[in-house]
Amino acid sequence: MATPYLRHQLHLHGAKVVRYTLLAAAVLALPLSVAAQKTSRSRASIGRNGQVKSVTTDNLLGYDDRSLHLGLYVAPNFSRYLIEHSPGDPSKGIQAYPKEGASANSIISPGFSVGFLGELRLGEYGALTFAPGVSFLTRRVEFKNQSYAQDATRYPNDPKEIEDQEIGSTQLDFPLLFKLKSQRRRNARVYLIAGVKPSLNMGGRRKDPEVNLLQAADSDFAIEYGVGLDLFYPFFKFSPELRFSNGLKNLYVPSTNDVYSRSLQSMKSNTVTLYLNIWSGR
């Protein structure tokens, strides 16, 4: 198996540190939230002169006793490919084919998702969430010229010059996730969430097909995990959630014998998404 070059390795290491830090903070927050739970349903804030300044009231009482909850979400995301070079790539120092490949680096690119939410209650602290939706993604791969020269005789699909590749897609997502919730503290609580996400590509978008030759598979399967916060309001529940997605399937498609596909042997999806979930209070 080939290994990405040093810049790519350092970038992955930093991302892992952020993920583990967030998950550790969430795990610590769960027992703290339970310990801080109050038995009263309302609390008054008293000023210095003894007057009542404000009263805090629990919203959506009995909400967690319902077996089914529905909602919707909007979600900005940042996505890229985790790539592995082919054995003949010049970035590895292999000089047998110095003109047949190009070094590659995946660039983080923004995207957007929308969808619906359905949640089935599993006891006091558990839930099963299904969140079908549509994602609009654009992933970029930066290619660098390292002793590349066009050989139209052997490789008629090769371009004259190396260009960055852009793969855009509109995909259907079908996440199925298990949620572990803390005890509710007045109008807030934290939760952990994890599961799987199958995806189906409904159509690729290539801005310039003559330049963007790299292609990806039409389906994907990823594991997802993250942390979220439930905020209870009088008529709805708002749940911001940070979720990480790691693709398990190799999306690399050597559809054309060009310099870009020859330079790679693996492409796996990697996405960080901020879900803004809105749940119906009824």
47: in domain? no
40: in domain? no
Separation of alpha carbons 263 and 32, rounded Å: 50
pLDDT at position 262: 78
Assess whether pLDDT exceeds 90 at residue 177: yes
Separation of alpha carbons 15 and 266, rounded Å: 20
How confident is the model over 243-268, as a mean pLDDT? 85
How confident is the model over 213-223, as a mean pLDDT? 90
CATH code of the domain containing 140: 2.40.160.20
212: in domain? yes
Q: Which residue has the higher pLDDT, 155 or 230?
A: 230
Separation of alpha carbons 206 and 244, rounded Å: 26
User: Which band of pLDDT confidence, cut at 50, 70 and 90, is reported for residue 174?
Assistant: very high
Assess whether pLDDT exceeds 50 at residue 167: yes
Assess whether pLDDT exceeds 60 at residue 24: no
User: Which band of pLDDT confidence, cut at 50, 70 and 90, is reported for residue 202?
Assistant: confident
Q: What percent of the chain has pLDDT over 70?
A: 67
1: in domain? no
Task: Provide CB contacts within 8 A for 280, sequence distance 6+.
Answer: 69, 70, 71, 236
186: in domain? yes
What is the total count of domains within the chain? 1
Q: Which residue has the tokens 């699909």?
A: 157
Q: Running DSSP on this structure, what letter comes out for residue 87?
A: T
Separation of alpha carbons 75 and 228, rounded Å: 13
How confident is the model over 197-223, as a mean pLDDT? 81
pLDDT at position 253: 85
Enter the tokens of residue 193: 């969430």
Contact 134, 118 (CB under 8 A): no
Q: Which residue has the higher pLDDT, 277 or 43?
A: 277
Assess whether pLDDT exceeds 60 at residue 53: no
Separation of alpha carbons 34 and 48, rounded Å: 30
Task: Provide CB contacts within 8 A for 234, sequence distance 6+.
Answer: 59, 60, 281
User: Which band of pLDDT confidence, cut at 50, 70 and 90, is reported for residue 199?
Assistant: very high
74: in domain? yes
> Which domain covers residue 246, as residue numbers?
6-35+66-280
pLDDT at position 4: 41
Which of 158-172, 173-187, 235-249 is predicted with the least confidence, judged by mean pLDDT? Answer: 158-172
pLDDT digits (tens, 9 = 90+) for 74-129: 999 999 999 888 775 444 444 434 445 677 888 999 999 999 999 999 999 999 99
60: in domain? no
Amino acid (1-letter code) at residue 169: S
Contacts within 8 Å (CB) and 24+ apart, 5-11: 5/85, 5/91, 5/103, 5/105, 7/105, 8/83, 8/105, 8/106
56: in domain? no
